[in-house]
Amino acid sequence: MTSEVGRLRTVLLHRPGAELRRLTPRNNDQLLFDGVPWVARAQEEHDAFAAALTDRGVEVLHLDRLLAEVMGVPTARSEVIAAAVDDPRLGATLRHATTAHLSDLAPEDLATALITGVAHDELRGGRGLAYRLMGRGEFVVPPLPNLMFTRDSSVWVGSQVAVTSLAMPARDRESALTAALYAHHPRFAGVDQLYGPQLEHLEGGDVLLLSPGVLAVGVGERTTAGGAERLARRVFARGLARTVLVVPIAQERATMHLDTICTMVDVDAMVMYPAVAGSLQAWTVTAGGELPDDADTTELSVEGPQPFLTAAATAMGIDRLRVIDTGLDPVTAEREQWDDGNNTLALAPRLAVAYERNTVTNAALEAAGIEVVAISGSELGSGRGGPRCMSCPVLREPLPG
């Protein structure tokens, strides 16, 4: 994987399921949703998204199906169960009881429980003080409604996969599931892991493969500067990149990831929120004189800051990076950025999936020569994520030349 726009061949998705039915007006904020979605409609929208990819020759892998397949592997089972009960709320007695409950489940049932969660009244053999003080509807193992945003818990760079370290408590267990897939599923046998969930916070929505050898990493609400630095060291040490642009972004819900601000739609073009286009800065990080290693024992070269668009064009070896605005006036731009107008998924150069509701942005894309595959997202968008957020590309064709 060397770009955002090479023809997409394989992608990892997760069809939203019963975990969304766990959302209520009482817990949706804690679980990072802006509302309580209509689950059946969200599933219809996701099915249409998957079908649009399949119709264009993309192989769609489903995370829950792969997870069920690896839950027959004893080491994988023990890893994900240990992550599920690693919660200070539980205490030793309830932790042991929950471990026993999960360990007794068949592979498919275990995969379902890990995603959907386990409520107090669903736990067989529940006991202990923590259990008795819990309300009937409280979660011993919380659900993972954000799992459908598969971009964040892993990202491929070259032939290696970075299993990321998610910043929000509601999501940190997602990385344990993706780590188990990549470590134990035969589909990924022999794949090297570039990063791990025990490291500094780094999320896939903040990582853009601008061109072969050039990464941009957003630093803000979800990804730390330490995470960006460690990723830079590792891609340099393994020959996966020569330049990493570190891009500070506002630590706000509307701009939680770099891909909520901009995404690539062609080899030299991106759609971008115009309110930040002129102010976005980048620090250029390179290996310097000595190639760093994974032990973090060498210094990196850090230069800047420069305007992001200038730094990106220089690193990519092009005269300029074309920018397509999200909206033509400030109000429309703000509305369509909030509705993930920038969060497109490129299927090939000049071919991108976008939410149909962002009509002004989509019209601007079409006018710029970008074919738009418009999908519905009225319910999917309640978790603040668009087509790019909902997809983890596993394989793209290299760009010509």
Q: Which residues are catalytic?
A: 389
CA 37 to CA 382: how far, in whole Å? 6
CA 358 to CA 378: how far, in whole Å? 11
Q: What phi and psi, each to the nearest 5 degrees, are found at residue 377?
A: -150, 30
Q: Which of 355, 359, 388 is nearest to 262 (CA)?
A: 388
CA 102 to CA 114: how far, in whole Å? 9
Q: Tokens 């115009």 label which residue?
A: 274
Half-sphere exposure of 65 (CA within 13 A, CB side): 8
CA 235 to CA 107: how far, in whole Å? 35
Whether the Cβ atoms of residue 181 and residue 63 lie closer than 8 Å to each other: yes
Three-state DSSP state, 119: strand
* Helix residue ranges per DSSP H, 56-189: 63-70, 74-84, 91-103, 107-116, 129-133, 174-184
Strand ranges in 178-227 using DSSP code E only, listed in sequence order: 193-195, 207-211, 214-219
- Cα 84 to chain centroid distance, Å, stands at 20
- 188-190-191 Cα angle (round to 5): 60
